[in-house]
Structure 1
Amino acid sequence: MTAPHLPDDATRSRWRGGVVVGPGLMAFTGRIGDAPAHAHAGVQVLFVARGRIVLRDAEGGEAVAEMAIIPPGVGHEVRADPDTIGFVAYLDPDGLTARAALRRFAGLSTGRAESWVAAAQPRPPANPLDLPAGNVRSTHPAVADALRIATGYEGGPPTLVELAARVGISPSRLSHVFATEVGLPYAAWRRWTRLQLGLGVVGSGGSLTEAAHAVGFADSAHLTRTCRELMGLTPTEVLIAIGWRPDPQVS
């Protein structure tokens, strides 16, 4: 297969719409644009109401998606036709909704674009009246404490060593149970949470530099790199998309 040419900045479809940011969730509704190769720490759920989206995986495989579920840590690109409208949600993997979404990958390769589309297809539950008890996991008390402390920690989620001291277990033990329960290493979850909190600071009127310092990034460049890695967009592109910054291409 010949690799398609990813649009440059002058020809890329751009994101425009509204965003909701809350604990464990970032949701976008509106015009979906292109995103170059990236991976994100959350579970991404995508629905297209109008238009056309092509997802491309790290191996070059492609799939046209009206709906898709993309697992955390999986490299992919998004290419959207102009004026494609839809909904994109990023879910922290500790939530029941994210866990339910990931269970849909049973028997599928999580790294393939066609699997992301297949996992999102409507299907009847095995038992429409109740959820089998084996599909519900209890949260380890140390992880529950860690999530509560880290989410509300002044200056953004602390390092693993700092958090382990607050929870009262060793860093190695917390690292193990956190990854088991949440589905990602703590470092990945921390990056995503800091990005969510940083965008919230900007939405409240702060600059990118103020946001970076408020949530634990070294500087605005560090925040920008993280945003691109997790969402495939720079913070400025995200802020323009949701109307918190003017679009320089609009006179």
Structure 2
Amino acid sequence: MVYFIGAGPGAVDLITVRGQELLKKADVVIYAGSLVNPELLKCTKPECKIYNSASMTLDEIIDVFVREYSPDKILVRLHTGDPSIYGAIKEQMKLLDKHKIPYNVVPGVSSFCGAAAVLNAEYTLPGVSQTVILSRMEGRTPVPPDEDIEKLASHKASMVLFLTTSMLEKLSEKLVKGGYKSDTPAAIVYKATWPEQKIVRTTIAELHKSAKENNITKTALILVGDFLSCEHELSKLYDASFTHEFRKAKEQ
């Protein structure tokens, strides 16, 4: 079996218990280079074969699985965060299907969750935003035209941008053209939950300047929206005057 495992956002203890247990038993691990904390690999068996996928092509990754596969082996593809977000796992699955090699997915804590945690933030605040947009700027690889940042910005929802740190001037321009105010709160979170984590609170207009001043050029998430700094309504969940299935409203 090949297991696609989410390694979590960076901190060693934020991998799931299931993922860690499979790593301990793994016969082969292909991990996503500098994006995965190398400390996680220390729990593998001494005889485990470990490959860094940073220099590998898709075919080379699949070749390892084909060569190493047998029904009694545990093969691990260790991805950063959660493999379902920018993990490029579907293309690997299709080739494994072609070779009739079974696989399973072990979810992980995405970096966008890690970033919210280190900021003590909540993406879905009542009366502010009930939608979270996860996206990226178009760079060397395109995005569908209907998912251009300017169009997504028209919703003014809580937004998290992956793979965009090197394009912050253009990002700010698109966000403002799309509908956000230039002084909308923003945050740059470099390597959330890693020991070298860095947090920069700023505004949409100051994103590029703030990143430059803090020497952040990659491996960071950009968070945008009023959820980062504003007043908000209280939720109905714990409102004493609100009745739901498990609690009757209390008289005020």
TM-score range, shorter chain: under 0.3
* Higher fraction of helix: 1
**What is the TM-score with the length of structure 2 in the denominator?**
0.24
Greater radius of gyration (CA): 2
* TM-score w.r.t. length of structure 1: 0.24
